[in-house]
Amino acid sequence: ECPGTGSAQAGRAAACQGCPNQGLCAAGAAGPDPAEAAELRARLRAVRHTVLVLSGKGGVGKSTFSALLAHGLAADETKQVALLDIDICGPSIPKIMGLEGEQVHQSGSGWSPVYVEENLGVMSVGFLLSSPDDAVIWRGPKKNGLIKQFLRDVDWGEVDYLIVDTPPGTSDEHLSIVQYLSATHIDGAVIVTTPQEVSLQDVRKEINFCRKVKLPIIGVVENMSGFVCPKCKNESQIFPPTTGGAEKMCQNLNVSLLGKVPLDPQIGKSCDRGQSFLAEAPESPATLSYRNIIQRIQEYCEQQHFKEEKIM
Amino acid sequence: LAERSNLAGVRHILLVLSGKGGVGKSTISTELALALRSAGKRVGILDVDLCGPSIPRMLRVQDSAVHQCDSGWVPVFVGQDKAIALMSIGFLLERPDDAVVWRGPKKNALIKQFVTDVAWGDLDFLIVDTPPGTSDEHISTVEALRPYQLLGAILVTTPQ
């Protein structure tokens, strides 16, 4: 049994003999060392709530959801929101937030996030590329290095909500962000899926990943959940939930279903144009769903805070 | 005596790529394999999506196990006439809900094994399904396949 590449036994357990990765694990290419951890803790001290948006499956709407979550939370002008895009190979957030072509500036206190609103700052590898078509063809260790830099060197300032958008999978980026953020406190993960079994089977793995690394799961969002034709008002299941959809999966795995969001072609359009779908289509059933889900996430985070304050 | 490479009998190798997730790479890989088989070709599929292997379910063999022979891993034979050879890490998982939470170096080691240690036999086409992104899996797969008949890549996208 592999003890896990991030565990203290990595590379040293009996099961590691003969594993091609043994040397690397034993060399401690795992989490941050104590000095780094202290640096990260200092930098992230002023972050009140952190939410990771995960999936396991690609193309289900993580980035779309992360962006709308950020917009939704930032609608309250008294809240400071930060959106961090750690999808190094396929950074979608700059385009979705209407920030393509923006550059990152350095100041004495670190890298400046790119601000969409006064209270909504964004960071992504997309801002570091000279052209949006440049491929970032990096192996794991280099990706980890950049993620660490994003956390250590970006001057986020005081933040009420840090939203972290992740790439699909359960790999370097996911391990690293959980390890580096252990320096601060992660409220939990929101897991996005679509209704069909081919997605759910990847999402179950993601739920297991969260449990393995002790990351609380705020809940699951079922995206692309039905389509209502604007002309005839008939509802179609474009991605039929052949095995019961997210609802059944959540029941089986004892996690919360935060909500279901229907397909609306306006969502894709707004993302392509870098506009907030919530603002462009306030009457859409999808907007209503998103707003309900965002509220539930907010309530979850505030409750955690309340619990902690009680303990203190 | 030099060992005959497991890929020596494969005439064409096709990579199915995207960059973007969820656009239909695995679906297209599967349908392409089935269509080529219908046209009478000998076909194999290599699923190198270690974190989200979708192909076994698409071909209804998610509960299959694999074993080894003298020349390496024996693929699982799928399709109506059980003539399409499939290898996926999905087959190596004890429980299908197990997350493969590996960092790059460990993924690279497995991909190298997959590419060179599967006893494909003689194939007209080997279709290689990849995960989204441009990272470890992609670099390792291309590196491992370079000495062989790499026909080229098909890129899948959606309109937005």
Tell me, what CATH number does B64's domain have?
3.40.50.300
Indicate whether A195 belongs to any domain.
yes
In a domain, A108, yes or no: yes
Overall number of domains in chain B:
1
Interface with chain B: mutation pick from A139, A196, A224, A272, highest number of B CBs within 10 Å = A139
Residue B3 lies in a domain: no
Query: Residues of chain B whose C-beta is under 8 A from some C-beta in A?
Result: 19-23, 26, 51-52, 54, 57-58, 96-109, 131-136, 138-139, 158, 160
**Residue A35 domain flag:** no
Look at residue A154 in the predicted model and tell me its pLDDT. 94
User: Could you tell me if residue B31 is inside a domain?
Assistant: yes
Separation in Å, CA of B3 to nearest CA in chain A: 22
The overall average pLDDT reported for chain A is 89
Gap from A17 CA to chain B (nearest CA, Å): 14
Min Cα separation B156/chain A (Å): 13
Rounded CA-CA distance B109/B106 in Å is: 5
ipTM for the whole complex = 0.86
Residue B121 in domain: yes
Beta bridge partners of A111: A106, A154
Q: Phi-psi region for residue B10, left (φ > 0), alpha (ψ -120 to 50) or beta?
A: beta
The answer to whether position B1 is within a domain reads: no
Give a yes or no: residue A29 inside a domain: no
pLDDT one-digit tens code per residue, B122-151: 999 999 999 998 888 899 999 999 888 788
Do the domain assignments include residue A30? Answer: no
Residue B144 lies in a domain: yes
| Spatial distance between the Cα atoms of B52 and B58, rounded to a whole number of angstroms | 13
Give A271-290 pLDDT, tens digit per residue.
999 999 999 999 999 999 99
Enumerate the H helices of B39-135 as residue ranges.
Answer: 55-58, 104-116
Q: Classify residue A2: in a domain, yes or no.
A: no
- Is residue A115 situated within a structural domain? yes
Q: Which residue bears the tokens 């889900």? A: A293
**Domain count across chain A:** 1
Which of A54, A63, A171, A252 should we substitute to test contact with B (largest number of B Cβ atoms within 10 Å)? A171
pLDDT > 70 in chain A, percent: 88
Which of B61, B135, B155 would you mutate first to test chain A, the one with the most A CBs within 10 A? Answer: B135
Across A241-248, average pLDDT: 96
Residue B40 included in any domain = yes
pLDDT at residue A305 is higher than 80: no
Q: Is the pTM of this model over 0.95?
A: no
The pLDDT of A14-19, averaged and rounded, is: 67
Determine the structural domain holding residue A223 and report its residue range.
Answer: 43-311
| Mean pLDDT of the region A155-164 | 95
Work out the pLDDT band at A11, boundaries 50, 70, 90: low
**Tokens (6 digits) for A11:** 């590379």
Domain of residue B138: give its range.
10-156
Look at residue A101 and tell me whether its pLDDT is greater than 50.
Answer: yes
The CATH number for A201's domain is: 3.40.50.300
- Residue B2 inside a domain? The answer is no
pLDDT beneath 70: ranges in chain B:
1-4
Put simply, the answer to whether A59 touches B104 (Cβ < 8 Å) is no
Query: Mapped to the 3 state alphabet, what secondary structure does chain A carry?
Result: CCCCCCCCCCCCCHHHCCCCCHHHHHCCCCCCCHHHHHHHHHHCCCEEEEEEEECCCCCCCHHHHHHHHHHHHHCCCCCCEEEEECCCCCCCHHHHCCCCCCCCEEECCEEECEEEECCEEEEEHHHHCCCCCCCCCCCHHHHHHHHHHHHHHECCCCEEEEEEECCCCCCHHHHHHHHHHCCCCCCEEEEEECCCHHHHHHHHHHHHHHHHCCCCEEEEEECCCCEECCCCCCEECCCCCCCCHHHHHHHHHCCCEEEECCECHHHHHHHHHCCCHHHHCCCCHHHHHHHHHHHHHHHHHHHHHHHHHHHC
In a domain, B137, yes or no: yes
The mean pLDDT of A53-78, rounded to a whole number, is 96
